[in-house]
Amino acid sequence: KGLIHHSDRGSQYAAKEYREQLKQFNMKPSMSRKGNCYDNACIEAFHSILKREFIYSKPKFKTKEEAGQKLYRYLEFFYNRKRSNSTIGYMSPVRFEQCYYEYIA
């Protein structure tokens, strides 16, 4: 309940069939403002990193299953746990989250 699907204004997200799928799963659609690149800046930066470090630096995947497994390993075991991020004080996302909960405790 209350799940929001946020996207840019790409035609695939505005398509009738796509919006019907969102309704089917009780998801509320949300789109960036027209011509405002800052609405999606965080995810665009993440996609840039993902493409540079994972997609373009690896050989082609043989199957969708292989791509999914390797993407899971990259995100869960490298990106979230080991890769430092300058925006969050050169910590990994997991370490940053740990520090946050230690701070608010």
DSSP codes, 36-70:
-GGGGHHHHHHHHHHIIIIITTSPPPSSHHHHHHH
3-state SS class at 81: coil
Buried (b) or exposed (e) across 2-21, using 16+ Cβ within 10 A? eeeeebeeeeebeeeebeee
d(CA 40, CA 8): 7
The β-bridge partners of 30 are 6
Q: Do 24 and 70 belong to one domain?
A: no
Number of domains in the chain: 2
Q: Does 91 fall in a domain?
A: yes
Q: Do 23 and 65 belong to one domain?
A: no
Q: Do 90 and 49 belong to one domain?
A: yes
Q: Do 16 and 63 belong to one domain?
A: no
Q: Does 36 fall in a domain?
A: no
Q: Does 71 fall in a domain?
A: yes
Q: Do 96 and 66 belong to one domain?
A: yes
Residues of the chain with pLDDT under 70: none
Q: Does 61 fall in a domain?
A: yes
Q: Kind of pairing, strands 4-7 and 28-31?
A: parallel
Q: Does 72 fall in a domain?
A: yes
d(CA 5, CA 52): 25
Q: Do 48 and 97 belong to one domain?
A: yes
Q: Do 86 and 68 belong to one domain?
A: yes
What's residue 42's pLDDT? 82
**Residue 14 structural domain:** 4-31
What's residue 100's pLDDT? 95
Query: Cα 37 to the chain's mean position, in Å?
Result: 16
